[in-house]
Amino acid sequence: MGLRIYNTLNRKKEPFEPLEPDHVRVYVCGPTVYDLAHIGNARPVIVFDVLFRLLKRLFPRVTYVRNITDIDDKIIDAAKAEGIPIRELTERTDRAFQEDMGALDALPPDAEPRATEHVPQMVKMIEKLIELDHAYVAEGHVLFHVPSMPDYGKLSRHDRRELIAGARVEVAPYKRDPADFILWKPSSDDQPGWDSPWGRGRPGWHIECSAMSKDHLGETFDIHGGGLDLIFPHHENEIAQSTCAHGGAPFVRYWMHNGYLTVNGEKMSKSLGNFFTVRDLLRDWPGEAIRFYMLLTYYRQPLDWTLEGLTQAKHSLDRLYVALRHGGETAPEEADEPPREVMEALCDDLNTPLAVVHLHEFATELNKAETDDERRRLKGALLGGGRLLGVLAEEPENWLKWRPPEGDQGFDEEEIEVLVRARSNARANRDFAEADRIRDKLKVKGIVLEDLPDGTTDWRRGG
C-alpha cells in the first residue's frame, strides 16, 4: 500500500519514496520551552504522531526527531520575570511538555535533541557558511546573506518584498541586504552565551534546527514537518542554511505542514480570554478526547477549537467505546492489524477524518453483530484502526466511567451503583415515576443509563 503526502515544496500530493527503502528519517520542529504547551502546540504533535505510527507500519525502520528549543529570547525574558535560572525554567517546562503530550497519547520520538547541547555543531555550520561566502560577520553578529542563494524563497513562494515584510525583519545598519538574517548574535553578561570565533554570543533560531537535523539525520533526509506558520521565515531559512552549507545537497525531500488553529473563530490570545493550555483542558477532559477532536479535521485544514466541538468529539469517542464494551471482553488477535480501510485513508495524506468514519462503520456493524466470529472480527478492526490513530487504548469500562481528577466530580461509582440498583427495583415494582426520577437525577450529573436487552442496566459518564 503506497503512501501519498502533500509536499508543500511542490504544492501537490506526491507518492512518498524514502531515500533508503528500509529507513525513513523525519524531523519535526518541537517546543520552545518557556511556558506550558497550548492546544496550538499540541496539534503538530498529534498530526506527526499519527504519521510516525503509520510509517512504522509501512517501513522496517523509522527515525523520528523532534527538537527542544532551549535557547531563545522568550526563555531569557520568562526566566528573568520569574527570577530563576534559565536551566531551571527550561527543564521544568520540558517536563511539563512531556507529561502533557503523553496524556494525549503521543509516542515519544526516537530523539529529542536540545539546542544547548548542539552549539558546537551550529558554530561549525556557521563557519562553513562564512567560508563559502554565504554569510558574513558584522558588529559581533553573523548574518546569512540571502542574495547569495538565487532560489531563496522557493518554499514560501513569496517575492523579495513579501519575504522582508513577512519576516518583520530588522533593517539594521550592519546588514548588507534587508532580508539577511541572524546566524549568531552577541550576548550581554546577563544573557546565556558561548565562546565562538566571533566573540561570546548565542545562535539565531533558524541555525538551531539546521544543525540538529544534520547531526541526527544527515545532510539530506525524507520529511520535515511543522505548523503552517513556520514555512516563513523558519523553514525557508533552514533550507538556505543547510543547502548552502552542504555544497548544494538537497536538504529535505518532503515538507509537511499542519493548518492553523483558532478558538471560537478567533486567533488564540490571553487578552481575548480564549487561550487554552493542554494542562488546563486535562483538568476537565481525558487526553484521548482532546486528541480525537484534533483528528476530526484534516491536518492541512484550519481547525476552529470550541468547547462544544470537544464535547461532541467526546460523545463520538464514547460511542466507539460503547461498541467495544458490547463486543465482548476478550481482545482478539486481529487487533494488532489495522483494517485496510483505515490504512488506505491514512495513506492518502493522513486523511484522519475518513479513518474515523471507518471506525464508526465498524462500531455500527459491531453493535448489530449476531455471532461471536463477527464480533471478534469487528472488534479487532475497531481496535486495530484505533491503535493506528492513537485512540481506543483504554479499557471500555474505565473510559466510560472516567471523571475529571479535579473540580466537581459528581457521584462516585459506589453511589451510582446504589442508584442504579434502586432504579432497577423501582422498575421491577412498576414504580416508573421513581425510576424516571432516579434516571433524571443521574443525568444531571452526566450519567447515562443504558437498559440492556436482558433487563440489566449499565451506565457511563458523559451525557
CA distance 391 to 48: 15
Question: Which residue bears the cell 451503583?
Answer: 417
Q: Provide the pLDDT for residue 272.
A: 82
Question: Which residue bears the cell 468529539?
Answer: 313
Q: What is the CA radius of gyration of the chain?
A: 26
- What SS3 state is found at 456? coil
Confidence of residue 337 (pLDDT cuts 50, 70, 90): confident
Confidence of residue 353 (pLDDT cuts 50, 70, 90): very high
H or E stretch at 6: strand 4-7
Q: Provide the pLDDT for residue 402.
A: 83
> Among residues of the chain, what percentage have pLDDT more than 90?
77
- C-alpha grid cell for residue 137? 560577520
171: left (phi over 0), alpha (psi -120 to 50) or beta: beta
Whether residue 462 has pLDDT greater than 70: no
| Whether the model pTM is above 0.85 | yes
- What SS3 state is found at 142? strand
Average pLDDT over residues 208-225: 98
Strands 266-267 and 261-263: antiparallel
Q: How many CA atoms lie within 13 A of 387 on its CB side?
A: 15
Strand order in the sheet with 252-258: 61-66, 23-28, 221-227, 252-258
Confidence of residue 165 (pLDDT cuts 50, 70, 90): low
CA distance 335 to 375: 12
Which spans in 104-135 are helix H?
119-131
Asked if 392 contacts 355 with a C-beta cutoff of 8 angstroms, the reply is no
Whether residue 431 has pLDDT greater than 80: no
Cα→Cα distances 110→23, 48, 66, 84, 217, Å: 13, 13, 8, 30, 11
Asked if 156 contacts 236 with a C-beta cutoff of 8 angstroms, the reply is yes
Write the pLDDT tens digit of every residue in 272-325: 888 999 999 999 999 999 999 999 999 999 999 999 999 999 999 999 999 999
Whether residue 92 has pLDDT greater than 80: yes
Q: Provide the pLDDT for residue 333.
A: 55
Asked if 180 contacts 157 with a C-beta cutoff of 8 angstroms, the reply is no
Write the pLDDT tens digit of every residue in 187-197: 999 999 999 99
Q: Which residues neighbour 206 within 8 Å (Cβ) at sequence distance 6 or greater?
A: 181, 183, 233, 234, 237, 238, 241
CA distance 47 to 24: 17
Whether residue 246 has pLDDT greater than 90: yes
Higher pLDDT, 213 or 335: 213
Cα→Cα distances 389→51, 212, 252, 371, Å: 9, 28, 26, 27
Of 137-146, 334-343, 377-386, the range with the lowest mean pLDDT is: 334-343
Strand order in the sheet with 135-138: 135-138, 141-144, 181-186, 201-203
Asked if 313 contacts 289 with a C-beta cutoff of 8 angstroms, the reply is yes
Which residues share a beta bridge with 24? 62
What does DSSP assign to residue 151?
Answer: T
CA distance 297 to 304: 9
Asked if 53 contacts 114 with a C-beta cutoff of 8 angstroms, the reply is no
Q: Provide the pLDDT for residue 408.
A: 47
> Cis link prior to 233 (omega < 30° from 0)?
yes
Q: Provide the pLDDT for residue 217.
A: 98
Write the pLDDT tens digit of every residue in 43-76: 999 999 999 999 999 999 999 999 999 999 999 9
- C-alpha grid cell for residue 272? 481575548
The alpha carbon of 418 is separated from its chain's Cα centroid by a whole number of angstroms, namely 41
Of 22-26, 209-213, 409-413, the range with the lowest mean pLDDT is: 409-413
For the four alpha carbons of 265, 267, 271 and 275, in that order, the dihedral sign comes to positive
Whether residue 118 has pLDDT greater than 90: yes
Q: DSSP for 186-233, please give it.
A: E--TTS--B--TT-SEEE-HHHHHHHHHHHHH-SSEEEEEEEGGGIII
Q: Provide the pLDDT for residue 423.
A: 77
Write the pLDDT tens digit of every residue in 306-319: 999 999 999 999 99
Higher pLDDT, 233 or 423: 233
Whether residue 216 has pLDDT greater than 80: yes
